[in-house]
Amino acid sequence: MSHQLALITGASSGIGATYAKQLAARGANLILVARDAARLNALAQSLRDEHGVEVNVLAADLTHHADLQKVDREIHENTRITMLVNNAGMTVEGEFIEGDIAQIQTMLTLNITALTQLAHSAAQVFRARRSGTIVNIASVLALVSESANSAYNASKAYVLSLTRNMNRELVDSGVRVQAVLPGLTRTEIFERAGKSINDLPAEMLMEVDDLVSAALSGLDAGELVTIPSVEDISLWQRYDEARIAILPYISLNKPASRYLS
C-alpha cells in the first residue's frame, strides 16, 4: 500500500485516528483532517517515526464552510490522493424532540452535508482516474428506529443509502466504495455527547482497533456494506433480500386493496 495516499476526516481520535494507524502500518501515506491541530500533529509525528510514512496535517472544522472548501480543494487538486475515509461525525445528547435544534443542525451539517460534498468530489476525481477508494462511516443505527437520537439515526441511514447509490453509479469505474456500520465502539463520541462510556454494556462495546481491523478486512474482501460485529452474514443478506423483494410493489397505479372501500 506504499503508493496509497489516504485522506482521513475526524482523524484526531477514535475511529479516524485508528484508521490512520492501521493504514500507516500497511505503508499508506496520509493526510489527517480534524479540528485539533495539536493532536493531529502529535499523531502525525508518531506515525512518521513508527512507520516511516509521509503524513500531512490539514486542520479544519468541517461544519465551517471555508474549512470544508479547503479540504474539498485538497481532494480536487492533490492528484496523489487515492483514498477518502469519510469518518468525521458527531452525535448529540438526548432525544430528538427535546434536543437542542442548533446542536442537531450542526450534527447534520457534519454527518450529512460535509460527508456528501467530500464523497461527491472524491467520486468525481477517482472516476476520472478510474481508480480510488471511498469509505463512508455510517452506523448500525442506520438500521434502527427504536433507540438513540432519531436525527442521528437518520443521518447514518442517509450515509448508507448514499453509499449504495454511489456504488451503483461507479460500477465498472475502477472506484471501490464501502459503508462501514459500527456498533457501540470505545471512542470519545459518547463523552462529547455528554454520556459515559462506562454506562454501556461491556458485551456490546467493541474496541476501536478491532472495529477498524474488521472494516479494512471487509474492504479487502470487496464488501459494499461492512457490519463488523455480525457473525452470521446470512442475517444481513436476508434483511437486504427482504428490502429488495418489496421494490416491485412500492410504486403502482392503484392503491393496495386494504385502502379501497
Q: What is the pLDDT of residues 194-228, one digit of tens each?
A: 566 677 677 778 999 999 999 999 999 999 999 99
What distance lies between CA 196 and its chain's CA centroid?
23
User: Average pLDDT for residues 133-137, to the nearest whole number?
Assistant: 98
- What's the chain's average pLDDT? 94
The alpha-carbon radius of gyration of the chain (Å, integer) is: 19
E strand or H helix at 84: strand 83-86
Nearest to 83 by CA among 216, 221, 226: 216
Domains in the chain, start-ordered, CATH in brackets? 5-234 (3.40.50.720)
Task: Name every residue whose Cβ is closer than 8 Å to that of residue 232 and which is 6 or more positions away in sequence.
Answer: none
Is residue 1 scored above 60 in pLDDT? no
**So which residues are the catalytic ones?**
152
Tell me if 61 sits within 8 A of 87, measured CB to CB.
no
For residue 127, give the 3-state DSSP assignment.
helix
- Identify the sign of the CA torsion 121, 8, 207, 25: positive
The answer, as to whether pTM is greater than 0.85, is: yes
> Each residue of 35-89: pLDDT tens digit?
999 999 999 999 999 999 999 999 999 999 999 999 999 999 999 999 999 999 9
User: Average pLDDT for residues 139-165, to the nearest whole number?
Assistant: 93
Q: For position 193, what pLDDT does the model report?
A: 52
H-helix segments, 11-149: 14-25, 37-51, 65-77, 101-108, 115-129
How far is residue 189's CA from residue 30's CA, in Å, rounded to a whole number? Answer: 23
How far is residue 244's CA from residue 237's CA, in Å, rounded to a whole number? Answer: 10
How far is residue 170's CA from residue 124's CA, in Å, rounded to a whole number? Answer: 10
